[in-house]
Amino acid sequence: MDPLRRSPSPCSSSSRPPSPRTPPPCEAQGYVGIEAVLDQVKIKAMKMGFEFNIMVVGQSGLGKSTMVNTLFRSKMWRSSLPSLGVPTLQTLQLQSMTHVIEEKGVRLKLTVTDTPGFGDQINNDKCWDPILGYIKEQYERYLQEEILITRQRHIPDTRVHCCIYFVPPTGHCLRPLDIEFLQRLCRMVNVVPVIARADSLTIEEREAFRLRIQKDLRTHCIEVYPQKCFDEDINDRLLNSKIRERIPFAVVGADREHLVNGRCVLGRKTKWGVIEVENMAHCEFPLLRDLLIRSHLQDLKDITHNVHYENYRVCRLNESHVLPRGPGWVNLTPAPSSSSSTPKPSKVRLRTHRSQDRKQK
């Protein structure tokens, strides 16, 4: 064992007894068995199962549903093909689907939220509001559960852990809609931008496009995941800077298998060749999958819980600290986050409270 250090006792409230501060290092010999706690943690985690919530945002036809199917190797969504009789959606509607997938004893409850209709209208002003509203709604739900008196043993986590944003492969730079949306979203949730349908770009075009997007992100101060400010130590920074160099990933999604050189691979078959999804030379899908699932899933959840959720909570609880009889006092029970999408009810609420204030005065 390494030498023992005595560290200062927790807190300094008067009811707690103080302890001496001088740490004489002691030698420890032999086996105690503290290591076994890791196994205990693992067993408990596997028994409880894991939860993960993803949101995919992008214009229709960019391959979002296909990408989700490819990521999780299953038919989550039926990819919608445009057909004549189906009208385009007038307003943005979010659809969530939850599935439980299991691999080698690990159970994962996966919730995928799709946003069909994003950016499809002629006037896309404020099309991000329902999405932001949905995200805030999940935070609100968690907060309400957390401040109950009799809480559940395990609060169900429906907060969005990661938002994948699909950038259309124009080859130029980020569009105004993209910039607006990313600016608003990156403060509230972990955003991972990807270049969709990357098979329409050559490798050089892809690299140039990537550099331009990175420059745009820097210019507009958009912090995408993995955020630089949350790097904890040198290892994290090294690993994450490698990832940051490659953001946004150029991905291709496919859910059909084809025969290539005798192997069965996932890919898209075209007249000029087969684009293999898993091939790093063709597209960067493996990087995205590794980032999301194999290495950073827990980190995504942690940052959502420790940073984004806490920020939301601070704002929310601060709202209630506006002194009564002030002009801005709003009743908390109906969540104010819905005010943007339903302006009328909130105005009514404000009016009644102002009249109440007047009565009090």
Report the alpha-carbon angle 41-113-70, nearest 5.
Answer: 80
Assess contact for 328 and 349: CB atoms under 8 A: no
Strand partners, 258: 265
Q: Closest separation between CB of residue 57 and other proteins, Å?
A: 13
- Within 27-46, the residues that bind other proteins by CB under 8 A are 27-38, 40-46
For other proteins, the binding residue among 80, 88, 99, 126 (CB under 8 A) is 99
By CB under 8 A, is residue 234 in contact with other proteins? no
E strands, 88-209, where?
95-103, 106-114, 162-167, 191-195
For other proteins, the binding residue among 78, 234, 318, 326 (CB under 8 A) is 318
Q: Closest separation between CB of residue 217 and other proteins, Å?
A: 26
* Gap between the Cα atoms of 334 and 340, Å rounded: 13
Write down the residue that tokens 């199962």 correspond to: 49
For other proteins, the binding residue among 62, 67, 72, 312 (CB under 8 A) is 72
For other proteins, the binding residue among 111, 190, 240, 304 (CB under 8 A) is 111
Q: Closest separation between CB of residue 212 and other proteins, Å?
A: 31
Backbone dihedral region of 88: left (phi > 0), alpha (psi from -120 to 50 degrees) or beta? beta
> Would you state the structure tokens that stand for residue 337, as one six-digit string?
């986050």
By CB under 8 A, is residue 95 in contact with other proteins? yes
- Within 169-228, the residues that bind other proteins by CB under 8 A are none
For other proteins, the binding residue among 63, 116, 119, 130 (CB under 8 A) is 130
Report the alpha-carbon angle 6-12-16, nearest 5.
Answer: 85
- Within 255-314, the residues that bind other proteins by CB under 8 A are 266, 289-290, 293-299, 302, 306, 310, 313-314
DSSP code, position 280:
T
What's the length of the chain? 361
By CB under 8 A, is residue 330 in contact with other proteins? no
Residue of 141, 133, 167, 160 whose CA lies nearest to 55: 160
For other proteins, the binding residue among 82, 85, 176, 324 (CB under 8 A) is 324
How many residues bind other proteins (CB under 8 A)? The answer is 110
By CB under 8 A, is residue 65 in contact with other proteins? no
Output 176 or 326, the one with its CB closest to other proteins: 326
From the list 17-25, 78-86, 162-170, 175-183, the region that binds other proteins by CB under 8 A is 17-25
By CB under 8 A, is residue 343 in contact with other proteins? no
Output 30 or 176, the one with its CB closest to other proteins: 30
Assess contact for 54 and 68: CB atoms under 8 A: yes
From the list 180-188, 201-209, 215-223, 336-344, the region that binds other proteins by CB under 8 A is 336-344
For other proteins, the binding residue among 84, 149, 229, 234 (CB under 8 A) is 149
Output 170 or 342, the one with its CB closest to other proteins: 342
Q: Closest separation between CB of residue 332 and other proteins, Å?
A: 5
Residue of 161, 185, 164 whose CA lies nearest to 305: 161
Residue of 328, 324, 331 whose CA lies nearest to 345: 331
Output 62 or 94, the one with its CB closest to other proteins: 94
Asked whether the CA dihedral 78, 80, 85, 90 is positive or negative, the reply is positive
Q: Closest separation between CB of residue 201 and other proteins, Å?
A: 26
DSSP code, position 228:
G
By CB under 8 A, is residue 352 in contact with other proteins? no
Residue of 124, 112, 132 whose CA lies nearest to 182: 132
For other proteins, the binding residue among 8, 273, 328, 343 (CB under 8 A) is 8
* Gap between the Cα atoms of 203 and 358, Å rounded: 67
